[in-house]
Amino acid sequence: MPGIKEYNNIIKSLKNTEKMTRTMKMVSASKLRRAQEAQVKAKLYARRLTDLIGRLSLCLEETSHPLLKHREQVKKVLILVLTSDKGLCGSFNHSVSKRVVAWINEHKSRYERIDLSFCGKRGYTYLKNAARTQKHYERATEKPNYAKAVEISDELSQSFLLGEYDEVYIAYNVFTSALFQKPTIDKILPIESSIVQKEKNAAAAIYIFEPSAQDVLTTLIPKYVHFRFYFALLENAAGEHGARMTAMDSASRNTGELIDRYTLLRNRVRQNAITKELIEIISGVEALNRG
């Protein structure tokens, strides 16, 4: 049975751990607030951009841009997996990795090849042997950056246009709240027709274009793809900070409970030691009195 000194060492270690987890919780809460602000602003921009492309596309055919064209036969697929570079965020990374594995097992009979690319060290470590790894974009999810999103989306768009892949997907956690992040796999390329498709009964809009409508759409479609990747990075970052804040809050509570438990055990050991000493003193006094 541990003594008072051992219990003191355990309690001291637990208190240091509690300080660390509380600090990490505060840091994650601050980062989450900034990530949520960026996410909300990006969501509004994404909605406006999608509406604009949808209105302009009424004047054009669906196949007017190569990123809108669906392949007759889909044989080669790429999934870009977004996770975090750091851990200590509960099941955040594990849940999206498991979702990717389940998706691959479900669809591998439909495709000749399924490749993976990664943004985030945790997903790369977990899934690098699950399928052929195309590329690992390092330090892309730590601080979401639009320039990095453009770089990644341009590379994947080029692979799609060259025929290296017939479809491109992105796997990430959709931020719902600090307590819940939903692992999701969305098709990015080719762009789904439902996004830019005119409704059956909608009247065609009349626009005067300068430059031509085709030139305008050719400019906007790549920007839309860029922003889809950037928005996924923002969602992933908000989910990471929310999951880490929740995990550190839970760790702090568990540590506090352990401190209380070991403090009680230490006090019992101390009381037993005091009682033992008192018994020895009383027994000695009685022995002297009898002598």
CA distance 121 to 233: 14
Q: Residue 136 is encoded by which pair of tokens?
A: 């690992």
- In 3D, which of 232, 189, 169, 192 has the Cα closest to residue 57? 192
Active site residue 89: yes
* H or E element at residue 121: helix 121-127
Encoding tokens for residue 40?
Answer: 């909300």
Contact status, residue 168 vs residue 78, Cβ threshold 8 Å: yes
Catalytic residue among 42, 68, 77, 89: 89
| Contact between 81 and 117 (Cβ < 8 Å) | yes
The token duo for 116 is 């993976």
Residue 168 has a CB neighbour count (10 Å cut-off) of 25
Burial (CB < 10 A; 0-12, 13-18, 19+), residue 92, is buried
Q: In what side-by-side order are the strands of the sheet with 167-177?
A: 132-137, 113-119, 76-82, 167-177, 180-189
Residues annotated catalytic, as ranges: 89
